[in-house]
Structure 1
């Protein structure tokens, strides 16, 4: 095994752990809630705090990698994540667990915001697509793998081991990273702490309001929170026009391929990641499957995506990202359309077919789009571009949570839909028929959002990887 293969292993292990832990708690949530004697509305923050920290942290920690050296931040991130995992497993109460998940999120955001830039540092532009194909396995299949692992480990070993399992893997990833990742030269950059603070405040307020809506329905309190959150977003935009080093320099938007690729990633996450939550609600709440069996039914499609990702990444290296990424998003939209045919008595083979199409589409989109972002980013902005790519994807994931809960529960009490999502409730009789209406509404919204991503992906224009490589050498 050569040096570059070991480098890929280090990157893959690191991003896989972070992605797995974004969902591994999902099926363990009822067990954790019962074991720690807490309320479901409190334990849901075990999931949300992790996603929030990543969404906010990736805006600046990629830039910190530019300043200090990406290898240092990447290794430190794996170390913090590993320590946070051990602490999570040893938590005595819900407050400790939420706090230690925050520590996990800090480590993950360090890894996610620098991994793409590390690939750009170590591989030529016409070779990166294949490597992004491998790491896309970690980012995307990892989230689905987390659901399955959460069910297996919680059922047969105990919920604490969904965190303890990260410790030996983290130590191995640290060793490989120290030994095989090249040290990048620090470049001049500056953190945008006011922008990060305003973005973080906005996301926290809106997320808290979403949980409140899911539990109690629409009321003055959560509407006020959303309103303040929107004001904070506007305040962030105001700040960004006046700081020297904003979250995303405006000159980046002059690079058409880069900016369109970033926003294609956002709309893909916003639209499609909600589908996973929606289909799990369907399988658990209407078809009566256990959370574990529901996850297993979706797994084959994600395995397909994991296998095909490197091959489509290599294709993007040859022909550019526009066609593979756009076709991938269109395939995801087709799979959502297939899901809209589900009824209370549909054959479960529909799930397998749609999931297989999803896996193929994701294996085309992720490596091609990630490669386009880094291949078209100026070298001095590698860390920023890598971090902002993950930021948009993680904000999209948070938005997907809101979509899957809020829209799918239009025709039943939101508290009921929330319990179904968390795996502690099921629907029967006429209530299940009403819930199907909400599920279809949510799927249609997700399909439209995904198609917007496809339009942006196609509109990015044509890129010439050979030309980029020539520019990189001159």
Structure 2
């Protein structure tokens, strides 16, 4: 494959990743407007966001496995078509039920693209360029997260809330055309293996219930007891899924976890995202309600993290191609841990320059860890299992995001005896908030340092999955 074609494939993958990431962040800013248009409350309109995240997370592994069996290009293309149609339906929705159903359709398509993009990039680029290419994907994710709220606000102000969905349609059409023209087919092992539909159904139900329980607890839609019961039921279904893995061709091949490189990579990725999303959830409340800065200043300070990550991720990935990943992943997690510990010393009069410096340190840590870690994960698997490997990596990332926020909310509520709704309403005592905030960020620092220890010791004698997986093929 020529360098020019590889570049075009990467650009297409970046555009689709940007669109999927943007859609995850652009909707939040429009929720009050949509709620007003449909005359529904906050608890009801939250399902526009919750249904999307749950559906994406529940289907990631399904698409990863199917793409390995029947071809990655066809499922990536199918995902773009479904996402584009779902975006159109969201834009023309006339009531809450219609937009939630359209968001589910949109999420089905997005989950295909998210599950397969790392596998497609890894299959396209040689090992000497893989880290840099995956770094560009990381940059696009950061930029999409960064401009989503501001772009969403601009579109809602100028053209109304429906425009945040319509903007996906022309981009999706271009992505479909480019995929048809430039992306080669890969995967396709269906002549020797079959798809585990029973395992897929069990996994879908367990993940859907587990994520729904955590999100419902975060948003106050269910009491802690009911949320626990939902997640317990999810655990029972997941146990049946694990027992189902004894079948000849299971949904998730156990050989993927036979290497420390892969196993510790996805675990450390989940720990990293747990740590970061604990901080990301509460930092805006600290800035606006305790430090007393305006919404614009708070937004600019929070944007430092994705800006730094977007700038450094390709460089970190390229460096990992030359010197290997472990020095970078370890350093990145240590920087993240140091930044999170530093947050625990902030007070109601801390300098904005100090706060900004800490956020920049966190951004550097994230950039140094994510791209090299993704490269190590994807480089450790056989090429015919890139789909399921990439989807597992994305699944553990989503698990870290949601469980990190849930853990943060739980720790804050337990330590302050405050309901999370009182925080969002601004009716809080600063000293009481800081007590809970410090516990949250110190716990997050412990998670980051556990990840660093996993990189130091868990991967010390790591081997690739290549030989053991190939033997089972």
After TM superposition, the score normalised by the length of structure 1 is: 0.89
Distance 2:158 2:343 in 1: 31
Counterpart residue number, 1:40: 42
1:369 to partner: Cα distance: 1.0
Counterpart residue number, 2:446: 448
What do the CA deviations read for 1:229-259 (whole angstroms, capped 9, x no partner)? 332333332333x233334322222222122
Alpha-carbon contact 1:286-1:426 (below 8 Å) kept: no
Distance 2:144 2:378 in 1: 22
Distance 2:161 2:426 in 1: 22
Among candidates 321, 324, 329, match of residue 320 of structure 1: 324
Counterpart residue number, 1:18: 20
1:211 to partner: Cα distance: 4.5
Distance 2:231 2:44 in 1: 19
Distance 1:119 1:84 in 2: 25
Distance 1:219 1:365 in 2: 34
The 5 A counterparts of 1:295-310 are 295-310=299-314
Going from structure 1 to structure 2, the CA distance change for 1:36 and 1:294 (only over 3 Å counts) comes to farther
Among candidates 229, 232, 240, match of residue 227 of structure 1: 232
1:216 to partner: Cα distance: 6.4
Counterpart residue number, 1:131: 133
Going from structure 1 to structure 2, the CA distance change for 1:146 and 1:274 (only over 3 Å counts) comes to farther
SS of corresponding position for 1:407: helix
The 5 A counterparts of 1:52-201 are 52-188=54-190, 189-201=193-205
Going from structure 1 to structure 2, the CA distance change for 1:211 and 1:11 (only over 3 Å counts) comes to closer
1:313 to partner: Cα distance: 0.7
Distance 2:227 2:305 in 1: 37
Moved more, 287-296 or 307-316: 287-296
Among candidates 245, 250, 253, match of residue 249 of structure 2: 245
Alpha-carbon contact 1:57-1:109 (below 8 Å) kept: yes
Please tell me whether residue 364 in structure 1 is matched to residue 368 in structure 2.
Answer: yes
Distance 1:280 1:66 in 2: 41
Going from structure 1 to structure 2, the CA distance change for 1:174 and 1:376 (only over 3 Å counts) comes to same
Distance 2:136 2:327 in 1: 19
Counterpart residue number, 1:6: 8
The 5 A counterparts of 1:257-406 are 257-287=261-291, 293-406=297-410
Structure 1 stretches lacking a partner, 5+ long: none
Distance 1:46 1:349 in 2: 36
Structure 2 stretches lacking a partner, 5+ long: none
Going from structure 1 to structure 2, the CA distance change for 1:239 and 1:27 (only over 3 Å counts) comes to same
Alpha-carbon contact 1:148-1:295 (below 8 Å) kept: no
Alpha-carbon contact 2:67-2:187 (below 8 Å) kept: no
After TM superposition, the score normalised by the length of structure 2 is: 0.89
Moved more, 76-85 or 153-162: 153-162
Moved more, 383-392 or 34-43: 34-43
Going from structure 1 to structure 2, the CA distance change for 1:275 and 1:147 (only over 3 Å counts) comes to farther
Moved more, 10-19 or 182-191: 182-191
Alpha-carbon contact 2:51-2:104 (below 8 Å) kept: yes
Alpha-carbon contact 2:58-2:208 (below 8 Å) kept: no
What do the CA deviations read for 1:31-73 (whole angstroms, capped 9, x no partner)? 3223322121222222222111121211110121112211111
Going from structure 1 to structure 2, the CA distance change for 1:74 and 1:445 (only over 3 Å counts) comes to same
1:371 to partner: Cα distance: 0.9
Going from structure 1 to structure 2, the CA distance change for 1:77 and 1:33 (only over 3 Å counts) comes to same
What do the CA deviations read for 1:337-385 (whole angstroms, capped 9, x no partner)? 2222222332332332122112222222121111111111012211111
Distance 2:224 2:461 in 1: 48
What do the CA deviations read for 1:252-275 (whole angstroms, capped 9, x no partner)? 222221221121112212222232
Counterpart residue number, 1:436: 434
Counterpart residue number, 1:426: 426
Alpha-carbon contact 1:148-1:292 (below 8 Å) kept: no
Distance 1:77 1:311 in 2: 30
1:414 to partner: Cα distance: 2.4
1:279 to partner: Cα distance: 1.0
Moved more, 28-37 or 354-363: 28-37
Counterpart residue number, 2:460: 461
Alpha-carbon contact 1:209-1:226 (below 8 Å) kept: yes
The number of residue pairs the alignment matches comes to 460
1:104 to partner: Cα distance: 1.4
SS of corresponding position for 1:215: coil
Alpha-carbon contact 2:213-2:227 (below 8 Å) kept: yes
1:396 to partner: Cα distance: 1.7
What do the CA deviations read for 1:427-446 (whole angstroms, capped 9, x no partner)? 35xx3332222222222222
